[in-house]
Structure 1
Amino acid sequence: MSDASPLVLVVEDEPDLADLYATWLSSDYRVRTAYGGHEALDALDDDVDVILLDRRMPGLSGDEVLAAVRDRGIDCRVAMVTAVEPDFDIVAMGFDDYLVKPVTKDALRETVSTLCTRNVYDEGVQELFSLASKKALLEAEKSSTELEDSEEYAELTARIEKLQSELDETVGGVDDHDSFVGFYQDLDRNSSED
């Protein structure tokens, strides 16, 4: 990220909704809007810090845009903002957060703020946050029986436990108290959503 305010790319095929999200964010962030998947890929570059991505769009879906973002190696955080109810397929997707429409101004702003904060963490920590978000989302949307029967959920849980274990070993080397406390506050906030 540069010294300028973070750049958010809003990708939404409903122009009124895209413009509303942009308005909600414009006081604190630089904002680009794209009214579809192809337009999103045209607007995408290394300056983008956060993408708010609609999942269901005609032409090029949000899932396809997300795959293209990751294939291009763009280092940014992505939140899916969609009416598509989450299913176990989200475990394999490369997003960082998932908001189900309708979305409030506060929820959208908080998500962007959190994702901008995550940009300063290393890749392993970012992955842990992303996985914890997916786990919390699935636990909120699925029954305990569905979770118990899901191989994807079991693999997700195992990956989180492994990353947390690796992180516990790494944190032993953190000597900046404020960084240590701030990191665990962020992690606790995500875990409390579980």
Structure 2
Amino acid sequence: MSDKPFCIFVVDDDALLRLVITDQLQGHDYQIHEFANGEECLAALDLSPNLILLDIEMPGLSGIDVCRRIRADGNDDVQVMFVSAHDDLEILLAAFDVGGNDFIPKNAKKDVLLRKVELAIEAEQQKQQLQSQLSYAQQTAFTAMSSLGETGTVLQFLRTSFQCVTFQQLGGLLIETLQQYGLTGLVKLTDTQQEYDFSPEKACTPLEKSILTYVAKLGRIYQAGDRLVFNFSHVTLLVTGLDTDDPDAIGRLRDHLAILAEGAGARVEAMISEQQRLQETNIRLEGVKELTDLLIEIEVNQQANHSQMVNLAEQHKINMESAFIHLGLTDSQEFLLHGYVDELTSQMDNLFENDNRLALRLNKIVEKQKALLIRQ
């Protein structure tokens, strides 16, 4: 409850009764105002009374009419305690229907009146506490919903980042995600050889590039006014447009944006690894291609050599048969020499066949390696 004194209106057409009630309330640090009729009471509501002791039976507007107008004007916070010499059920129900809070007989003793006022004060304090708790609960719920929405934005970024295969796609996604938070900023992504700078205008100006180069030398998380800087592996993120009047929101955004920057850095590392693996695969594929070409060349040479050896063996047999005429060999000697030549030719054919089988096996191994590399 505020430091303002508890304000009480005493409304009764009987001046003596007003005096008695006012006298009973003295000495308790109450702010008391007296009114002789309902019209005066309604005209003074801008004084923001906490409690109105309201006589029911008055000339002009009755207490019931006054209470009805008070509630109709939206004054629900002020408590109305009806005062009447009658306490029959019909009077009590009428008081209840128009929004009364309590009832006290006109002939009530002082301690009863004071206790009623104390109860009214306690009721107002409880109401204020409930309103404060409700406000806190609403603020907590709003903060939780805001945080949930902000977390959802981070999760959506992380999911989408896995689909990025170029630095241009990842940098553009970071800029778009910042805009979802109502922020603007600059982004620098680096791989092992090159830097990529991004802004809401797609291409960074020379000044923006200089700023990114400078802030990349600051700490992991650095704040200055409405600006935040995040430096993670392969990522520099400069965020502007923070609401400096809402430190809680800045704290949440700092946590979310840190996850954002760290996630982007992890994606860059994955992209670098993918590029290196792709380069290694291409090198292996090139090696397999060279080996395949070499096998084809060996096979062609083997076939040519085999044909040449067959021709030489045939020519050698012809030359031997021609020489047999001049050598005067017997049939058995000629047959023996022909057998030597045929056996040599057969052995050479076997050697070539073994080479062919080895070449075929090697070719199959090369094809398997080629298929594995392509799948990678």
Calculate the TM-score normalised by the size of structure 1. 0.59
**Deviation for aligned residue 1:93:** 3.0
Match of 1:102 among 103, 107, 110: 107
User: Which secondary structure state, in structure 2, belongs to the residue aligned with residue 58 of structure 1?
Assistant: coil
User: Which secondary structure state, in structure 1, belongs to the residue aligned with residue 13 of structure 2?
Assistant: coil
> Where in structure 1 do 4 or more consecutive aligned residues deviate above 3 Å?
none
Aligned counterpart, 2:69? 68
User: Which secondary structure state, in structure 2, belongs to the residue aligned with residue 45 of structure 1?
Assistant: helix
Q: Deviations over 1:125-165 (max 9, x none)?
A: 8xxxxxxxxxxxxxxxxxxxxxxxxxxxxxxxxxxxxxxxx
Aligned length: 124
**Deviation for aligned residue 1:119:** 0.8
2:112 maps to 1:85: no
User: Which secondary structure state, in structure 2, belongs to the residue aligned with residue 3 of structure 1?
Assistant: coil
**Deviation for aligned residue 1:33:** 0.6
Aligned partners of 2:110 and 2:22: how far apart in 1? 10
User: Which secondary structure state, in structure 2, belongs to the residue aligned with residue 52 of structure 1?
Assistant: strand
Q: Is the 8 A contact 1:77 1:116 kept in 2?
A: no
User: Which secondary structure state, in structure 2, belongs to the residue aligned with residue 102 of structure 1?
Assistant: coil
Q: Is the 8 A contact 1:7 1:30 kept in 2?
A: yes
User: Which secondary structure state, in structure 2, belongs to the residue aligned with residue 63 of structure 1?
Assistant: helix
Aligned counterpart, 1:168? none
Aligned partners of 1:110 and 1:45: how far apart in 2? 26
Higher RCO (CA < 8 A, seq sep 6+): 1
Aligned partners of 1:122 and 1:19: how far apart in 2? 30
Instruction: Give the aligned residue type for 1:51.
Output: I
User: Which secondary structure state, in structure 2, belongs to the residue aligned with residue 111 of structure 1?
Assistant: helix
Aligned counterpart, 1:43? 44
Distance 1:114 1:60, change over 3 A: same
Q: Is the 8 A contact 2:71 2:98 kept in 1?
A: no
Aligned partners of 1:47 and 1:117: how far apart in 2? 18
Instruction: Give the aligned residue type for 1:84.
Output: H
Aligned counterparts, 1:71-150, within 5 A: 71-74=72-75, 75-88=77-90, 89-90=93-94, 91-122=96-127
Aligned counterpart, 1:14? 14
Aligned partners of 1:57 and 1:10: how far apart in 2? 13
Instruction: Give the aligned residue type for 1:93.
Output: V
**Deviation for aligned residue 1:46:** 5.4
Mark the structure with the bigger radius of gyration.
2
Compute the RMSD of aligned alpha carbons: 1.9
Q: Deviations over 1:2-47 (max 9, x none)?
A: 3122000001110111122112113211100101111111222352
Q: Is the 8 A contact 2:9 2:33 kept in 1?
A: yes
Aligned partners of 1:92 and 1:35: how far apart in 2? 24
Aligned counterpart, 2:292? none
Q: Is the 8 A contact 1:55 1:84 kept in 2?
A: no
